[in-house]
């Protein structure tokens, strides 16, 4: 979240160079700096990098979703913290690995980030937006039958068929 916050704060630069006399800082540079500062000794940074990369790759769609789910809050009026917490939460809900981070966990983590780093009502705001998205998309896989349950169901059907055919023969 820190890296996305800084990147957003500096105007989301996409290339190195100078703009209006200020050095543009690339997201990768920000991320590496933050990993060194806040995660020294962190061996596996792939989750962090994948999350940041995923958010930025889907940024236009994520921003569009925020605007649809919070129409009374134009994107530029949402605080940088809340905006980036929402971006992370939406990315995890729609494109993240659901086995690694289930939807309800993604929502709860986003709410906690908003409460800890945002304003007084940030947690409620993030909860409302992500809750709306979650209700709209549902929980993929929730109504699917697991392979084990499917096999058990087929076995029950076969057993029933055998039972019915033996009853017919004895009649």
Q: Mean pLDDT lowest for which of 33-42, 73-82, 97-106, 161-170?
A: 161-170
Domain boundaries, the chain: 2-140, 147-171
pLDDT at residue number 40: 83
CA separation for the pair 144, 139 (Å, rounded): 10
Q: Read off φ and ψ for residue 73, nearest 5 degrees.
A: -125, 95
| Mean pLDDT within 87-91 | 96
User: What distance in Å separates the CA atoms of residue 15 and residue 1, rounded to the nearest whole number?
Assistant: 20
**Which CA distances in Å does 108 have to 60, 73, 86, 128, 130?**
24, 22, 12, 12, 10
Which residues are CB-contacts of 43 (< 8 A; sequence separation ≥ 6)? Answer: none
Which tens digit of pLDDT belongs to each residue from 35-61?
Answer: 888 888 888 888 888 998 999 999 999
Of the ranges 66-75, 96-105, 156-165, which one carries the lowest mean pLDDT score? 156-165
- Which option is the CATH number for 2-140: 1.10.260.40, 1.10.940.10, 1.10.287.180, 3.30.1220.10? 1.10.940.10
Helices vs. strands in the chain: H and E counts, helices first: 8, 2
């Amino acid at each position: 979240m820190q890296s996305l916050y800084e990147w957003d704060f500096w105007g989301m630069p996409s290339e190195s160079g100078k703009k209006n006399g200020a050095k543009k800082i690339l997201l990768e540079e920000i991320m590496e700096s933050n990993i060194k500062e806040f995660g020294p000794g962190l061996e596996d940074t792939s989750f962090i990098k994948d999350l940041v990369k995923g958010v930025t790759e889907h940024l236009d769609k994520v921003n569009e979703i925020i605007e649809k789910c919070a129409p009374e809050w134009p994107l530029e009026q949402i605080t940088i913290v809340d905006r980036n917490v929402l971006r992370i939460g939406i990315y995890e809900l729609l494109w993240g690995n659901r086995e690694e981070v289930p939807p309800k966990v993604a929502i709860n983590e986003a709410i906690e980030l908003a409460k800890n780093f945002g304003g007084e009502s940030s947690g409620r705001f993030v909860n409302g937006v992500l809750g709306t998205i979650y209700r709209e998309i549902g929980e993929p896989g929730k109504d699917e039958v697991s392979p084990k349950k499917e096999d058990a169901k087929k076995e029950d059907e076969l057993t029933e068929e055998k039972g019915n055919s033996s009853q017919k023969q004895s009649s």
